[in-house]
Structure 1
Amino acid sequence: MRISASFCGIYAHKPVSYAVMQDGIFPNIPSLRNNLMSIGPMTKHASDLLPLLAVIADPHEPESGRQNWNKRVKLSEITAFYMLSDGNDGKFGAPAVENDLSNAMDHVIKHLVCILKMKVKQ
């Protein structure tokens, strides 16, 4: 869904499989419903994703989180996890993380902690 949208220059959101009722979808492969198959909105503007998802979400599925979609999030109550390296450090043919990216990550971490008052953990 998301890859198809990016090739077409539009936005898409793939919600968890139970957020949108899947009755009548094709192909009907029950074993894949909870893992791969998902129905979600594709829109021209990113701002249209949430309103459209609210329309198509299953109102009878309490775990879809539909009732909390407009709830404001307190960033100070969220912990952001980050990695400065993939642990590979240039082994196995993968390049090590470049200094520019490490420096950018340092700036992001400082912003999250100092400005947004978030907790961060490596």
Structure 2
Amino acid sequence: MSSEEMNFDLLDFAFVDLGVISINSLENGIYIGKFSPNDSFEKYKAIFLEYELLVESQQFSAVDEMDLKFASMGFFVISKNHKSAACEIFDLQIMGGNISFRMASSDLGLKADVNNRRPLHPRT
């Protein structure tokens, strides 16, 4: 992957840009990197801080519940140049300035037309 392909914007379910992701590595399908939030991320900041505290205190059943909550919230990434469709992500973790996630398969994941703020095909 080129360096351009390794930079994404993080989007919420309404395709609001939440910040920039710079990927450092891709290991076993997990994208790992740095996250630079913008002002729009502020509405999600508290829930990710709560998640971080749960992980640090090893409250794993509560962590599992938070993972399900994040999955239901619907987050996407799109390449920084916006030349491709947004792709749904899962297993999203944001702790401090770090981020990790898995990208949904192009066959199974939800792709989205960000310009028109709508899915390209419905979830199955």
Q: Same fold (TM over 0.5)?
A: no
From the two aligned structures, give the one with the greater helix fraction.
Answer: 1
More strand by share: 2
Q: What TM-score do you get using the length of structure 1 for normalisation?
A: 0.25
Select the structure with the greater relative contact order (CA < 8 A; seq sep ≥ 6).
Answer: 2
Question: Highest CA radius of gyration, 1 or 2?
Answer: 1
